[in-house]
Chains A and B, each alone.
Chain A
């Protein structure tokens, strides 16, 4: 079974600064998706960014970008120009494209991002 590890329970960043969240995963598969979801205090899960394993280019969505290192099984999220609205719990998630066609996600434990003015 695949496991997803987020080793940082909490990260603090000042407004306008950059923060990087780490995520590593364990899998023997070669074809999969990786995601970052954000859960603000409202507890609504919001998709931030996704990466397909067969794509070498790192995904980018506005101020959010990832550093996908397939060989190292690492998938970090960089938040640039941090804003107060970025304060949330961030979850890294893995989804197999081989063993699960339904789209079942394996989540990490989450990293709480605190943004200070």
Chain B
């Protein structure tokens, strides 16, 4: 299957700082990428849908000013957690839809964020 790279895999930051997570599709162009949050032993919760060249669409209850998403190119989307607090500590996963494969979603390896 297609490869999606997510970086960093783990980040520890102080409360009040901002953290950027990158998601890249390595062997296909993704007009649509997704950002999820996953709590321990739970399913994936969709946070937002990121479309290249336009504003992201956020799911209900997700603060768009807290979780800034930028999809500036067909291979890169970024999620910035602004003014992070301990309650933002979680596992964040990105995915990208491969238009050449009927928009199957391929996933990054995830980022574990710990806010002290």
* Chain A residues close to B by CB (< 8 Å): 33, 35, 37, 42-47, 50, 89, 91, 95, 101-105, 107-110, 112
Contacts and interface: CB of A to CB of B under 8 A. Distances in A.
Nearest to B44: A107
Contacts of A43: 38, 91, 93, 109-110
Interface string B82-108: 000000000101010100001111110
Given A44-B110, A47-B1, A102 B43 contact: no
Contacts of B42: 109-110
B46 interface: yes
Contacts of A104: 34, 46, 49
Nearest to A33: B102
A13 B29 CA distance: 39
24 contacts: A43-B38, A43-B91, A43-B110, A44-B109, A45-B44, A45-B95, A45-B107, A47-B1, A47-B104, A47-B105, A47-B106, A89-B41, A91-B43, A102-B32, A102-B97, A103-B32, A103-B97, A103-B104, A104-B34, A104-B46, A104-B49, A109-B42, A109-B43, A110-B42
